[in-house]
Amino acid sequence: MNTQNKNSVRLVVELVALIGLLVGNISLATSTATVAATVTLQNVSVSVADGSISYGTLAVNTTKTTLAGGLNDQQVATNAGNVAEDFNIKGQNSANWTLAGTAGVDTYVHKFCVATCGTEGTPGAGFTALTTSYASLATNVATSGTQAFDLLINIPTSSATFTSQSVDVMVQAVAH
């Protein structure tokens, strides 16, 4: 083989080697990629402890509270969900009495308080009358957070019904 042929062969071999190196270092894009994604189902939940009040037997047109000196039975609503919540509260009519802002014949008053509630003998001005529609009890309560509250009942001024009345209070949780 002459020198020119040897150089030509050498040039071809070097070019093939160079092309091989270039092709070997080329990265090809993939046709798919993954995005890691997770989700948690929202849980809106409230619990109330102790969740039971017995006002007992009361005379007409009298009041009773859950304050210290009274029943000493403060209630505590807890965010049992996994997101911040707003708590709402409402009362209800009983089988024979109507819930209202002022006591009257077969009409009773039920109120709630979250601060500055006073004592049994002198309840503070912090009480708000319940209605049969929800009102705000607390806002932006963190997961496992709580809101304590007291209740006050004012029995009707007169009534022909002398049986026990269910005057339940409902606490509702909604996502904040």
pLDDT in tens, 12-62: 556 555 565 555 556 667 899 999 999 999 999 999 999 999 999 999 999
For residue 133, is pLDDT > 90?
yes
Average pLDDT of the residues of the chain: 89
- Residue 123 has a pLDDT of 78
Which domain does 155 fall in, by range?
46-175
pLDDT in tens, 151-160: 999 999 999 9
Instruction: Provide, rounded to the nearest whole percent, the portion of the chain with pLDDT above 70.
Output: 84
Residue 60: inside a domain: yes
Tell me how far apart the alpha carbons of residues 57 and 173 are, in angstroms, rounded to a whole number.
31
Residue 153: inside a domain: yes
3-class state of residue 108 by DSSP: strand
Residue 51: inside a domain: yes
Residue 122: inside a domain: yes
* Residues near 119 by beta carbon (within 8 Å), at least 6 away in sequence: 67, 68, 69, 70
How many structural domains are present in the chain?
1
Residue 22: inside a domain: no
What's the CATH code of the domain at 151?
A: 2.60.40
Residue 143: inside a domain: yes
Tell me how far apart the alpha carbons of residues 40 and 46 are, in angstroms, rounded to a whole number.
18
H or E element at residue 153 = strand 146-154
Helices assigned H by DSSP within the chain? 3-24
